Amino acid sequence: MKKLLSVIILISLALSLAACHGRSRLSTFEVPHGLGDGEYEITFWAKNDTNRVQSEIYKKAKEDFEALYPNIKVTIRFYTNYGDIYNDVITNIATKTTPNVCITYPDHIATYMAGENVVAPLDDLIDDEKYGLGGSELRFDCPTKDEVVPEYLAEGILSGATYAIPFMRSTEACYINKTFVEALGYELPDVLTWDFVFEVSRAAAKKNGDGVYALNGQKVMKPFIYKSTDNMMIQYLRQADLPYSDDAGNVFLFGEDTKGFLLDVASNVSADAFSTFKISSYPANFLNAGQCVFAVDSTAGATWMGPDAPLVDIAEEKLVDFECVVRPVPQVDPENPQMISQGPSVCVFNKDDPREVLASWIFAEFLLTNEVQCAYSKTEGYVPVTTKARESVEYKDYLSRAGEDGDEHYAIKLAATKLLLDNTDKTFTTPVFNGSASLRDAAGQLIEEVTKSVLRHKTVDGGFIDKLYEDVSSLYRLKSSVSGPLPAAAWALIGGVALVWVALGAAILREKISKSRSKS
Amino acid sequence: MKKMIVLLLALVMVVSLAACGATEGKDTESAKDTESAVESTPDTAENGVKVMSYDEFMAAAVNDEVVIDSFVQAKQSWWDNKASVYLVDTEGAYFVYNMACSEEDYEKLETGTEIRVTGYKAEWAGEIEIAEGATFEIVDGGMAFTAAPADVTDLVGTDGLISMQNRLVEFKGLTVEAYDESGAAFAYKNAEEKTDDLYFKAKVGDTTVNFCVEFYLTGADTEVYKAVEALNVGDIIDVEGFPYWYEGANPHVTGVTVVE
């Protein structure tokens, strides 16, 4: 009997060890009483849009912060895209070498959270009287919780707790060659509909007998070009009140309603009216060369849009003059416009020393000060995430000077910024769960594949889309990892563990019975 | 036991030598020799599409299915089972963007390796390429071929330069210009970390060419990256690279020599 018990205990131990293999657990984070007398070295992984001004703002924030907190040294590592930060964080979780603070998307945090206690929950920190938002012990003028735009703060809530605070927000905008729209005989509405955009785009795709487009007299015309097709799909589904996913991680993307939209897209590609960034190139380049009517891109890309854009990637001789205007992305119901809320957030990673986490949190809060918020938001069509910054004299002055110059006050950038400020209550985000980043990729992939396939003269019909659903859901493992049944291996493991426990219980019971029998 | 080990070692050595012998046997061929080698391979891909000559590839429309036999000249990147490579044949050159490729297969792609690529022709910001998702196979018994760089200095500023797109070329006697208003001779895409592309401009006659040290092709530890970091405005340089296109010529540089 003892032998049996030993074997069972050994198996249990082995299973437990196997489960722990590769993990070095961190304790649940609890807010410490203070920083103490310690010296802290924290790392901040930042993202800039290949924009030196943004890097300088981060550097100044670090210097200003270190002047206030000489015992906290901040080392910044700069990235030029979110994907690299995401990959590096994942690589560093296993070795417990994550940064202390990093710029990220909530979708990415959901993946980081697959590791236990990897990301620090922020609710207790946010509410902490001394070190929370607007806390009494902070050495800078920090916004209070109420001064952070509530919609943006809510975006950092994952599984019922806050794991991110917003840093900057943007949305998508449609940058339009109004001159072309009017030349085609249309009047530009304040709010675009998908039907309007596709109708005008089809008209813009008409060619003369010599193969040259009638509208621009050029051989190239991409009437409607979309930068982020994942956003295109997500926004359309939301506007049409069609399901995409839910908080529990159930995926509804691959449905009949989505199919209808994809077939619409296919029909417009076939009419030469629609293309994407991945297939053609940057929307701004076509817009500025007079080869596009509707260019959809982030408001954080506004400095590239328009004939007088301060940032340009095409040769000067290719630039054409036109009236450029900014509108919200195309809508299903113009009376009830809805648009994506996007932009960088900040998360804080858990560490062995809770005081190090507190030091990291204080730095994260520093990024919400008016100085940082106003300075960074001016670099692109971003908006500050605090009402405190939005209502500051400095920011109001900035907004009031639209068009005064072609750089800081570039009219198109300010128009894009105002678009978001005026529509904050009409923005939305999608549910975040482990796998939501893949689902987003899949949403874009559907549009890209349909577009590509039409261009490659393949038949795109219901059958094609059914097969596409199968391929894309398999590629992104959406059925198995998000909403599908557990794989056989997982069931086998669960079964094995259950079996061991049952055997263990039976053995103990048997021993007790035999003991009580021998006593009696 | 010792005898057994000796026997095993001897066997391993014989196998290794045989493997080395096979590699050494792949002599670099001249372009002329290669042409006949290409002709001797089956001229139809598995999907029934005829293997195209460079002229046929160029005559194909964007989004047409294409099949080419060509020789690896440089590997730009591998990530997530996707590889981007520069290829050349006797008539012209190709850039294949993110073709399906395992890491193991990527290792097999050496400079000169002959491969057959099946995919779709694409154009992205002026760059003619084979689009993401192409497949490839190493040509059985294929020859190895490495093209010598072609001097295209005289083609700068003319329509002729685009005909050399993606081929290994050299530009001679260019004058380095200030990259931007800061007056620096080059610019980093990520100045703080130096983990991204480097850019510089150089002039031939009245024409300025925008060059790019593509980080995935030639990273910070390569000679060319360091050579560009050492450039000064006014330096006279020879440049070697692949004329990639991004809204105009934007060669991906593989070598820079300061001559004056």
Closest chain A residue to the Cα of B130, Cα to Cα:
A279
The pLDDT value given to residue A489: 52
Assess whether A271 and A297 both reside in one domain: yes
At a CB cut-off of 8 Å and minimum separation 6, what does A20 contact? none
| Distance from C-alpha of B244 to C-alpha of B164, rounded to nearest angstrom | 9
Residue A54, domain extent = 31-166+344-381
A267 is a domain residue: yes
Assess whether A330 and A434 both reside in one domain: yes
CB spacing of A79 vs B124 below 8 angstroms = no
Assess whether A183 and A277 both reside in one domain: yes
Assess whether A495 and A441 both reside in one domain: no
Assess whether A2 and A66 both reside in one domain: no
Nearest to B63 among A52, A315, A455 (CB): A455
With a cut of 70, say whether residue B19 has pLDDT above it. no
Q: Which residues of B touch A311 (CB under 8 A)?
A: none
What is the mean predicted confidence (pLDDT) over B199-211?
96
Q: Please choose, from the candidates A79, A84, A27, the residue with its C-alpha nearest in 3D space to the C-alpha of residue A54.
A: A79
CB spacing of B65 vs A80 below 8 angstroms = no
pLDDT tens for A35-47 read 988 999 999 999 9
CATH ID of B27-138, from 3.10.20.90, 2.60.40.10, 3.30.230.10, 2.40.50.140: 2.40.50.140
Q: How many folded domains does chain A comprise?
A: 3
Assess whether A324 and A350 both reside in one domain: no
Assess whether A360 and A303 both reside in one domain: no
pLDDT band at residue B142 using 50, 70 and 90 as cut-offs = confident
A482/chain B closest Cα distance in angstroms: 21
Q: Is A52 on the interface with B (CB under 8 A)?
A: yes
List the single range of A260-274, A505-519, B1-15 with lowest mean pLDDT. Answer: B1-15
Q: Which residues of A touch B248 (CB under 8 A)?
A: 314-315
With a cut of 50, say whether residue B223 has pLDDT above it. yes
Nearest to B120 among A280, A318, A456 (CB): A456
pLDDT band at residue A51 using 50, 70 and 90 as cut-offs = confident
Closest chain B residue to the Cα of A47, Cα to Cα:
B190
CB spacing of A457 vs B63 below 8 angstroms = yes
Closest chain A residue to the Cα of B119, Cα to Cα:
A456
At a CB cut-off of 8 Å and minimum separation 6, what does B41 contact? B51, B69, B116, B139, B142
- Mean pLDDT over all residues of chain A? 90
- Helix, strand, coil % in chain B, rounded to nearest 5: 25, 40, 40
A287 is a domain residue: yes
pLDDT tens for A449-493 read 999 999 999 999 999 999 999 999 999 988 633 343 344 554 565
Q: A51 vs A324, which has greater pLDDT?
A: A324
pLDDT band at residue B42 using 50, 70 and 90 as cut-offs = low
List the single range of A8-17, A438-447, B112-121 with lowest mean pLDDT. Answer: A8-17
Closest chain A residue to the Cα of B195, Cα to Cα:
A79
| Distance from C-alpha of B258 to C-alpha of B260, rounded to nearest angstrom | 6
Assess whether A14 and A45 both reside in one domain: no
pLDDT tens for A120-161 read 999 999 999 999 999 999 999 999 999 999 999 999 999 899
**B interface mutation test: which of A78, A313, A438, A475 has the most B CBs within 10 A?**
A78
With a cut of 50, say whether residue B183 has pLDDT above it. yes
With a cut of 60, say whether residue B34 has pLDDT above it. no
What is the mean predicted confidence (pLDDT) over A173-191?
98
B14/chain A closest Cα distance in angstroms: 40
With a cut of 90, say whether residue B237 has pLDDT above it. yes
| Distance from C-alpha of A146 to C-alpha of A286, rounded to nearest angstrom | 42
What is the mean predicted confidence (pLDDT) over B196-224?
96
Assess whether A35 and A100 both reside in one domain: yes
pLDDT tens for B98-140 read 999 999 999 999 999 999 999 999 999 999 999 999 999 999 9
CB A478 within 8 A of CB A438: yes
pLDDT tens for A231-271 read 999 999 999 999 999 988 999 999 998 999 999 999 999 99
The pLDDT value given to residue A136: 97
pLDDT tens for A78-89 read 998 898 999 999
With a cut of 50, say whether residue A443 has pLDDT above it. yes
Q: Which amino acid is at A444?
A: G
Q: Which residues of B touch A279 (CB under 8 A)?
A: 122, 124
pLDDT above 90 covers what percent of chain B? 76
With a cut of 70, say whether residue A414 has pLDDT above it. yes
Q: Which CATH class is domain B150-258?
A: mainly beta
Assess whether A354 and A336 both reside in one domain: no
For CATH 2.40.50.140, the residue range(s) in chain B are: 27-138, 150-258
A412 is a domain residue: no
Q: Please choose, from the candidates A71, A78, A84, A103, the residue with its C-alpha nearest in 3D space to the C-alpha of residue A358.
A: A71
Assess whether A316 and A209 both reside in one domain: yes
At a CB cut-off of 8 Å and minimum separation 6, what does A268 contact? A198, A201, A202, A224, A274
Q: B25 vs A436, which has greater pLDDT?
A: A436
User: What CATH number is given to the structural domain containing A442?
Assistant: 3.40.190.10
CB A137 within 8 A of CB A130: yes
Q: Which residues of A touch B118 (CB under 8 A)?
A: none
Environment class of A260 (CB within 10 Å of its CB; exposed 0-12, middle 13-18, buried 19+): middle
| Distance from C-alpha of A461 to C-alpha of A459, rounded to nearest angstrom | 6
Q: Which residues of B touch A80 (CB under 8 A)?
A: 189-190, 196
Nearest to B190 among A80, A281, A282 (CB): A80
A240 is a domain residue: yes
A410 is a domain residue: no
DSSP annotation string for A292-316: -SEEEEEGGGGGG-STT-SS--S-G
With a cut of 70, say whether residue B18 has pLDDT above it. no
Q: Which residues of B touch A (CB under 8 A)?
A: 62-65, 120, 122, 124-125, 131, 189-193, 196, 246-248
B136/chain A closest Cα distance in angstroms: 19
Assess whether A150 and A204 both reside in one domain: no
Q: Is A279 on the interface with B (CB under 8 A)?
A: yes
The pLDDT value given to residue A510: 78
The pLDDT value given to residue B208: 96
